[in-house]
């Protein structure tokens, strides 16, 4: 098994430089926020009563994080839509944001093309591609950014701009101070868990070691529900590993009953519970009881806490921690974290299909 304290292993197994994108997360958050503050939004966009975000994978998760973060204060419902066909309720009071890093995501292009035939307000977040061309041809505002990476590594640009737009349109409170704090928290956290921090003092490396050759199951709740989703997909895409996620309190009505069988799985599973100081007291209590049930089932688990004082910093610190864990796990599996060959294969097969 590779030694995570050996700098050479990162050069050997990470030739495309995913590690660099982890280092850049704090500054990307600051950059994406500032770009959103300077972006020209049409004057009639505050008139909408619902927000629908079109996207897939790494381009869609930002919308989910926003929806969880502002659920208790947003003055409109927020739906993240991952599909080919547009929901029937889209109307002139809907703001449709199509988010696709490449601008070539098949499902997003299909649903956005349908949105163009509605009276909805529209906005696009992309680096280019067909999505940008379609938007510009119909005079749809395009939030365009230039950052070369896998879409999942460009999370800052699918998350912070949507949050910023909601603020500027008057649907949520001012998050500027929270963004400033979040950047500082991420900088400090990165120094503690980056590749230069030794395994003996690096909790992200330690957790990656625990997950090695085990099945990770990530638990989240409230504002960190979609952070659990992010962990799951990062473990899939970076680590090329099986992973699943569950959301509390719902998991306490079903998942906890399933710890018993098959018994041979118990020592191959590690449950990671993501926790935030902003979770309600009843959720926190539910976590404690869940841990006792895991103990009884002899299933290993670990709690990871968000950092900082604001909900935003709690969310993003857990995101960054999970990104590092998935990266280190990829190195332990001796696999390049960047390519997603299975997804590329799927896209090629769908493109060549005549169905």
As a whole number of angstroms, the distance between CA 142 and CA 140 comes to 6
Question: Which is the catalytic residue, given 107, 237, 246, 307?
Answer: 237
- Tokens for 343, please give them: 């997804």
Residue closest to 82 by CA, chosen among 101, 119, 106, 108: 108
Q: Among the options 253, 341, 351, 354, which is catalytic?
A: 253
Residue 347 designated active-site = yes
In 138-262, the DSSP E strands lie at 142-144, 215-221, 244-248
Alpha carbons 320 and 312: distance in angstroms, whole number: 12
214 is catalytic: no
At 67, list the tokens. 């929806």
Token couple for 59: 């381009």
> Which residue in 50, 93, 214, 347 is the catalytic one?
347
CB 19 within 8 A of CB 195: yes
For residue 306, the SS3 value is coil
Name residues whose C-beta falls within 8 Å of residue 295's C-beta, 6 or more positions apart in sequence: none
Q: Checking DSSP bridges between strand 269-275 and strand 78-81, what pairing results, if any? A: unpaired
The reply to whether 232 belongs to the active site is no
Which residues are known to be catalytic? 237, 253, 347
């Amino acid at each position: 098994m590779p030694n995570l304290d050996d700098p050479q292993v990162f050069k050997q197994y990470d030739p495309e430089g995913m590690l660099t994108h982890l280092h850049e997360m704090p500054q990307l958050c600051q950059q994406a926020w500032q770009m959103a503050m300077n972006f020209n939004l049409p004057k009639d966009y505050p008139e909408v009563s619902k927000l629908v975000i079109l996207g897939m994978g790494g381009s869609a998760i930002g919308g989910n994080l926003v929806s969880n973060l502002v659920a208790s204060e947003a003055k409109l419902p927020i739906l993240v839509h991952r599909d080919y066909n547009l929901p029937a309720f889209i109307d002139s009071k809907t703001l449709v944001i199509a988010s696709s890093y490449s601008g070539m995501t098949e499902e997003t292009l299909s649903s956005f093309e349908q949105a163009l035939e509605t009276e909805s307000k529209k906005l696009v977040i992309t680096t280019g591609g067909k999505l940008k061309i379609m938007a510009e041809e119909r005079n749809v505002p395009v939030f365009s950014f230039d950052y070369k990476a896998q879409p999942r590594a460009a999370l800052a640009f699918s998350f912070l701009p949507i949050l910023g737009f909601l603020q500027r349109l008057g649907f949520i409170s001012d998050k500027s101070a929270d963004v400033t704090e979040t950047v500082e928290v991420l900088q400090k956290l990165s120094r503690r868990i980056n590749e230069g921090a030794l395994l003996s003092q690096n909790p992200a490396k330690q957790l990656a070691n625990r997950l090695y050759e085990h099945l990770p199951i990530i638990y989240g709740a409230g504002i960190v529900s979609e952070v659990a989703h992010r962990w799951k997909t990062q473990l899939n895409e970076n680590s090329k590993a099986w992973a699943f996620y569950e959301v509390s309190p719902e998991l306490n009505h079903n998942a906890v009953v399933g710890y018993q069988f098959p018994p041979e799985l118990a020592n191959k599973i590690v449950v990671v519970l993501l926790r935030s100081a902003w979770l309600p007291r009843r959720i926190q209590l539910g976590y404690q009881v869940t841990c006792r049930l895991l103990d009884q089932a002899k299933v290993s688990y670990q709690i990871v806490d968000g950092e900082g004082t604001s909900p935003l910093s709690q969310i993003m610190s857990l995101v960054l921690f999970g990104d590092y864990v998935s990266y280190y796990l990829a190195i332990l599996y001796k696999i390049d974290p960047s390519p997603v060959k299975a997804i590329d294969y799927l896209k090629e097969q769908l493109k060549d299909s005549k169905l």
